[in-house]
Amino acid sequence: MRLIFLALSVLLLVTSHAIAVQPTSQIRVVFPYIPLMAESKDHGVFIDMYTEIARRSDTDVVIDILPVRRAVQDFISGKYDALGAYPSLSDIPVSLASVPFYRRENLIFYSTDRFGRGRVEKLEDLDGTRVGLSAYHYPDYILDRQELSIERVPGDTFLLRMIASNRLDAAIIERFSGNHVLKLLGLEDSISVTDDPVTSENVLILFKADLAGIRNRKSFNKTIYEMLCDGTLAKLFGRASLLPDQMIIEREIPASAILKDCDPKAIFADR
């Protein structure tokens, strides 16, 4: 009888411990390859952001980096729990969208010899010229402009090299990654860049439209908001214009989670 009692006691102890210590949840995230932002599973500005989200939310985030079209298709087909970054002005597949975490600013990178430095400011200045776009999604404002001779290429590096070799007159590329690749290629003298974006849009996370997706969206939204408020996103992105709109995020989270001391741009105050 004592042996049975002892066995039951051990079983209850092990069971209660297993219930008390829940395993960390896992989420599989796929990213399109983005220079500087998402270059590998452990390198990139967005990857650093996800590492911090994982730490704060006690989530095991497993990241894969794929070519743009394959990343989107594999998410749509259900191979992944989330698509790591998706622009808000593009057609969004069936999914649960997070609050915005980044502002994508598309700039015009153009041939200095073709136009002259500082002579291009807006999309209309490119009418009648050869304009390159990468495989990433772009707003209809750009895609629908009939006056442009648009050519699609795999990535930002191809675009800049084609401008330098006179196979394109200009290209439209995201600010952060475009300037990063421009410096890596050493083409600052032959390629100029506009100061103001031709388009600006939010970047979101897309989650599977299921129960797990609902939980993941709620957890990530809360963590993104906290990282915005405490200046973490500002430190990661280094530019105030790239931060998401605080009011948009606060409309998507519970009133009880709103922070009174939220100050996303505090680190820029003394600059």
CA distance 165 to 161: 6
Domain 24-103+201-268 in CATH 3.40.190.10? The answer is yes
Fold of 104-199: D-Maltodextrin-Binding Protein; domain 2 (3.40.190)
Q: Determine the pLDDT at residue 1.
A: 46
Of 115, 163, 123, 171, the C-alpha closest to 147 is: 123
DSSP 20-62: HSPPPEEEEEEEE-BTTTBSBTTBSHHHHHHHHHHHHHTEEEE
Q: Are 29 and 82 in contact, with CB atoms under 8 Å apart? A: yes
Q: Determine the pLDDT at residue 25.
A: 81
User: Domain coordinates of the chain in residue numbers?
Assistant: 24-103+201-268, 104-199
pLDDT digits (tens, 9 = 90+) for 118-144: 999 999 999 999 999 999 999 999 999
Identical fold for domains 24-103+201-268 and 104-199, yes or no, is yes
pLDDT digits (tens, 9 = 90+) for 16-25: 444 343 446 8
At residue 174, does pLDDT exceed 90? yes
CA distance 46 to 177: 11
- Look-up of token digits 């105030």: 240
Q: How much of the chain is helix, strand and coil, in % rounded to 5? A: 40, 25, 35
Q: Determine the pLDDT at residue 10.
A: 40
Q: Determine the pLDDT at residue 171.
A: 98
Q: Determine the pLDDT at residue 185.
A: 97
Q: Determine the pLDDT at residue 213.
A: 97
